[in-house]
Structures are given as structure tokens and as C-alpha cells.
Structure 1
């Protein structure tokens, strides 16, 4: 599931992403980046709790959620609500939709401990509205008919398969080891579930470290490996892969989810190597990075549906709020498009992006007041959502999960 999403966005459109909710790619200026620290340090504030995980990770005026062609953009099946943030009704464009979104908050526990909790809203496909759920973690399968869900108090010993039209769990898949995340493969036929002994979002007083001159509760290593599960049969194969050790003096632990590769043949986790990721086959054996993924600019890069283009970095200077698109074969810049963070492709020439208000976007002020836009390769923009709260650690900041329809 990159988030802004929990380390989900890298391997398919619904992933979060996945990218962390506090991902520096949101910044509208080339401010100092601390990506590595954000991935591996959990702090006693909401933003850093999000960063402890690998989060993870779409025009018309608001109104009903019915889909209709958007002649202005040339993209079909657009559902937009620029007056809603967080959205109450379907947001979608072309091949992708926001199937769910989450917010995060820090909950203090007895004895000086704490936990970062996810509050999810999931699309009810019968009504086209997002409904609050009690699940602690979820992911939506391509086609948006089924969600895989985990109950509260992670880790848990079973995975639910939920019908998005009825909101009911149709089947439970039990696991011998408790799991703390779950993600559908790109084709929707398998699940990847990361196993933990402790709550991966837990912060513990006896693992405290210094942050901004204060002792704060920290994460603990408890990852044990991952399951690859056949959805049809429920057959689950476990691969033992404990958590990595500490890196550069920073505390490492908490949420360290595995993710699917883009083609669904391998799984991976973030790494300090040249590829930025360590790859494994489904049995847990470490393997070289696939050639195509090794060539991409980052693990958060998103390929266009035809595989010819890939999202790049924020490249804005001065008052420009733009990011680059690169040619997959040559690596050369093919275009620059409006946006701080490019999230998903609606079709081969349109993307969904976060962008702050150009009139109010400045470092330390309006850079985090951003909205979802549909952007074209020629620079046209169409609002899809309202603006998020301007503060990075505001508990109302919502993080979308994109799923192919």
C-alpha cells in the first residue's frame, strides 16, 4: 500500500505508496531534503510517525460523483470535486481512481509508549462516496471490486477480503504469523503481506532516542518476513526476511514493509545500494534489480501505461512549480509539467499530481497547502480536489491511494 502513502506507490498505481505522507517531494522549492532520515526515524510527532514507515503510496465543478467526459482535458471518465478536502465523493480520471485515503495521528499509550494510527476512508462503489472504516490497514485490488483489510491492533493473524459494493468481508485468509501490511499484486491475483512480531507503527519508551533535544519513544525491529498469498485458493507461502540493522547511527525499526515490483514477479524493500532497493524472489532469495527498474530515477517513479515515459523529480526554480517527465529509453527529459509531486498516470499523456497554490506557495508557509490536479504533458491543469491543510503535521491531511479501474 507511498504513502503520501505508506510505501505503496512504487509498484503500481495504488501504491501507497507505499511514499511517506511527509515526503519532501511535496516541497515547492528546492529545500534541504532528509529522505533517508525520514524513512528510518520515528518521532513523537505525527509527521515523523508517518516517516517511520515506507508509506505506503484524481475537471469539473463539484456536485455529484457521476463520471462524465472532460472535453477540456481530453481525458474520459473524470470525476472531480475541487470543493472537497478531504473528498466525500469519487475522485477519478482515466484509468485510475482514488479508491481510498487515510489520515494519521499519534496516540499516546501508557508507560510512555505511543502508536501512529491510520484512519481510513474507503470508496463505496455502490454510492460513489468515501466511507469511514474501522480497519487498521487496507489495499484495493485493480478493478476496484475487492479490498484486502486488516483489523485493529496490529499485527493480526488474518486478512479479510472485502466487497467494495457491500462493505462486507466475504472471506478471511488466516496466517500462521501475524502481519502488519498487505498489498495486492499488479494483476490482483496475489497478496504480499509483511509479518511483524510487534505493532510496526508502535513507538516505545525503552527504545527512546534524542530528537530536537528531547527524548522521544522510538520504533523497534520486529519484522520477520513476508507472505505471498494466492487470492483464489488462500494458499500462503512464507519467506523469512528479518528487519535490517541500524544505519548511520539512526534508529531503524517499525514499519519496514515489502512491496511488489512493477511487474509483480519480485518483491523489494528500500536499500542503500545504487538501485535504492533490495529485490527478492517470492521465496525470499535476494536477486539483482530488474534492468528496467534499475534504470529509473527513483523507486517512487511511475511509468506511463505504454511504458515510454516515467515521472521524475521536482525541478521548479524561482516561482515555477513543476516536475519533470523523462523518456524511459534515453533518460532524457521529455517534458515538464505543473506539480510538486507526480502520483499516477490517468493515460499516456495526463497525470495526477499534488500542487500548491501558486499565489500562496512559499517555503515555510503555503508549500504544503496543495490539491490534486489533473495535468497534461502540454501543461494544462484541471483541479480534482480541494486544498489540504497548510501544516505538514496537521491530522486532517489526507493521503490518497490510487488504483487502476
Structure 2
């Protein structure tokens, strides 16, 4: 098989449209249905590596990566840390910034069970540094002033609103149903809190399956529904929504089945195996047809440019190229090819934040996972490293995934 084919398979399997940590567990569940898994087997449990894409920004630290000269984008609002992985200080470009990052690993629990444990580091807005936290789950609001946080031992009966400048919880929102995941609406005024009967990141002995000739504990779907919460008042409206079943009556996905907001904040959605990759609900929990503007955007992880004219596409490298597509949002036709394996966010209408491996070392099966955050221009002529390189070992629990948040 040709190099570009191998690289395409690797990139698409590990980093194709994954936008959020909800899909960590979904990947883990899907690994049950295939023999070849690019996952992480730790203490008898399975995890997978994903990329979290939301977005924020600041000034330019140009230069080179590993001694390789690169172009500098003429942007006064770029803050780059090409020598830091994971980052210690603020990384930002244009409209977005890294508001934090997380790592994940599977950990043994008593009685043969396990759990996918996330470790979150959040930006301290006062000193511009990333600091480790003890929260089990979190989401950063657009504007990067507050984060919604959940305590350990999910599901929990309250949601904290954390001040990123002080690192302290401003107030708690109490809920009647156990919450396992939270997401801010695009305007930051509402939360969708997905509720569960069990820890959505739990791995259970009585749900074990065979993986690579080993028996490992597996996830259990236990979603009970969701609450739409008004952040200002704390009012929470709960709607029952058990795990969705396919045409054969089977629940698909892993234990974590969080709901997300649509791009315009009017609907909710979850991953699904249809052409769009999503199933949509209104805020009352009723399934609704896929909006036309969503259907035209392609993959679930596609991100729109600020002017809504372009949309990120998938990896499209050929003949050894490390490039991804940008498409016209209305026609779906290719508008550009830009350097990078995975396009995460738009810094502005003319540049994107992406994962990119070192072209000199990016070889299938060897160096394609040694990648760094970069800022790339739409014309493909400029590439500015934003972070240092992540470890090439997908099995490493130290591989970090950025939280990109609109500033």
C-alpha cells in the first residue's frame, strides 16, 4: 500500500472529525467491533486518543520548529509556544485560544472494573499559565471567563461555575438528575447537561469483551436525558432521552453519550451513523430532520469560517503530502488545500489552527502521530508552529488534547 494511503487511513482513524472528549468513549465502544484497534490498552481497559476543538487568541513568537524554517503569518494576535508540549503558557491565534487541555487514561477500579480518567489543565487568566485541576469534567464558555465544572465520581448533582481569573467556583447550580457532561451554547448563555444513571466513563466487568486476545471491561450506556440550563438564573429544564437504538434495536456508542449544541444554538445533536454523522433534537428532546445547512457541511467535525463561506474538510494528502481540504460551505466544492492532518478551528477568515506532523519525519506507522499545533494560512504558504510536538506513541497517557475556545 502506498505511503499516502497508509497515512490517510491512520489520520482518518485517529483524528478525522473528532471535536470533543464525548467521542473518546464512543471510539472506545466502536473498537469492540473491529480487530485492528489504534487504541490504548491500559490495565485491562481501552481508551482512545481524540482531539477537542472549540476556540480563542493574542501576539507572534515566530521562528522555526526543530530547526526547520517556517513562514510567519502576518498576524499581530498570535501567541506561540513551539518549545512547549504540553503547553505551560497561553497559546492563542486570532479568534481562538487554548483555554486548557486534557489527558486521559484507563485506570483499574475494584472488582475488575475500570474508568477512563481525564486530567484537565485550565488557563489561569491572571498569570496566563495552564494549571492542573481535579475536576472530572468541564467546559469553557465562549469569552473564556468562566468554566462549568463537575466534581469527581460522576454523575453528580451540581454544576460549578468557575471563575478562570480566580480559579474559584462563583456559585453552584443544583440539579435533580445526575450530570455526567456539560456543554455551553455558542452564545454562552445556556448549558446542556447530559444526565446518566452510571458513570459515563466507567468500564465494567459485566460488560467485558475480547480485545487483542484479552478480556477487558467495557462501557455501559446509561444516559437518562438532559437538562437545558439558563446560566444566569440557574433554571434547569429536564427532558428524558435514553440511549438511541439503531434499526436492529441495539444501543450504539459507548458509555458517554453527551449532547452538543448545533452551530446556531437552536438544536441539540449527538453522533449517529447516518450520512451527516449526527441526529438532531429540539430542546424538548424531539428528534427533528437534519437542517439543510448542517447537511451541506459534510463531516460532523467540520468547522465554519467566521464569515461562514468556507468549511474545514478531511485529510486529502496524496504523493506524500500532509494536507487537508477546505471546501465551499454552500457548494461543497474544494476551495483550498492547506498544510495539516486535521483542521481544528478558524483563527480568522484566512487562517486555521491544525494538527500537523513534521514533514521530514511523518512516515506511516512511525512519525504521523508526532504532531504539533500550527497556524496555517488559507493559501498554504505560511505555517507557524503554535506548540511543541506531542509524543508519537498513541498509547502514551501523556498525549494532550487542546480545548480551543472562542475568545
Q: TM-score range by the shorter chain?
A: 0.7 to 0.9
Q: Which residue of 1 aligns with 2:136?
A: 136
CA distance in 2, matches of 1:393, 1:294: 34
CA distance in 2, matches of 1:37, 1:21: 9
Instruction: Point out the more displaced range, 172-181 or 36-45.
Output: 36-45
Does the 8 A contact of 2:26 with 2:256 survive in 1? Answer: no
Cα deviation code 1:325-382 (max 9, x no counterpart): 0001111100000000000000001000000111111111111100000000111100
Cα deviation code 1:225-244 (max 9, x no counterpart): 11100000000011111012
Does the 8 A contact of 1:61 with 1:81 survive in 2? Answer: no
Aligned to 1:385, the other structure's residue is in SS state coil
Q: CA distance change for structure 1 residues 21 and 341 in 2, over 3 Å: closer, same or farther?
A: farther
Does the 8 A contact of 2:342 with 2:355 survive in 1? Answer: yes
Does the 8 A contact of 2:310 with 2:327 survive in 1? Answer: yes
CA distance in 2, matches of 1:20, 1:264: 23
Q: Which residue of 2 aligns with 1:297?
A: 298
CA distance in 2, matches of 1:193, 1:146: 16
Alignment of 1:358-369 (within 5 A): 358-369=359-370
CA distance in 1, matches of 2:78, 2:152: 34
Indicate the RMSD between aligned Cα atoms, in angstroms.
2.7
Q: Which residue of 2 aligns with 1:37?
A: 30
Q: CA distance change for structure 1 residues 257 and 119 in 2, over 3 Å: closer, same or farther?
A: same
Aligned to 2:320, the other structure's residue is in SS state coil
Q: Which residue of 1 aligns with 2:11?
A: none
Q: Which residue of 1 aligns with 2:398?
A: 396
Aligned to 1:166, the other structure's residue is in SS state coil
Q: Which residue of 2 aligns with 1:187?
A: 187
Q: Which residue of 2 aligns with 1:310?
A: 311
**After TM superposition, what 4+ stretches of structure 1 lie above 3 angstroms from structure 2?**
17-23, 38-44, 53-59, 245-253
Does the 8 A contact of 1:44 with 1:217 survive in 2? Answer: no
How far the C-alpha of 1:247 sits from its partner, in A, is 8.4
Cα deviation code 1:141-183 (max 9, x no counterpart): 1111000000011111100000000000001001100011101
Aligned to 1:387, the other structure's residue is in SS state coil
CA distance in 1, matches of 2:91, 2:97: 6
1:118 and 2:118 aligned: yes
Does the 8 A contact of 1:17 with 1:401 survive in 2? Answer: no
Aligned to 1:37, the other structure's residue is in SS state helix
Alignment of 1:4-403 (within 5 A): 9=19, 16=20, 18=22, 20=24, 37-38=30-31, 45=41, 48-50=46-48, 59-60=60-61, 72-245=72-245, 252-379=253-380, 380-403=382-405
Cα deviation code 1:72-120 (max 9, x no counterpart): 3122321110000000000000000000100011110111110000000
Q: Which residue of 1 aligns with 2:4?
A: none
CA distance in 1, matches of 2:395, 2:338: 27
CA distance in 1, matches of 2:386, 2:247: 39
CA distance in 1, matches of 2:328, 2:121: 35
In structure 2, stretches of 5+ residues that fail to align are 1-13, 64-70
Q: CA distance change for structure 1 residues 388 and 247 in 2, over 3 Å: closer, same or farther?
A: farther
Q: CA distance change for structure 1 residues 21 and 241 in 2, over 3 Å: closer, same or farther?
A: closer
Instruction: Point out the more displaced range, 246-255 or 269-278.
Output: 246-255
Q: Which residue of 1 aligns with 2:5?
A: none
How far the C-alpha of 1:245 sits from its partner, in A, is 3.7
CA distance in 2, matches of 1:54, 1:397: 10
CA distance in 2, matches of 1:105, 1:186: 29
Q: CA distance change for structure 1 residues 182 and 91 in 2, over 3 Å: closer, same or farther?
A: same
Q: Which residue of 2 aligns with 1:30?
A: none
CA distance in 1, matches of 2:258, 2:303: 19
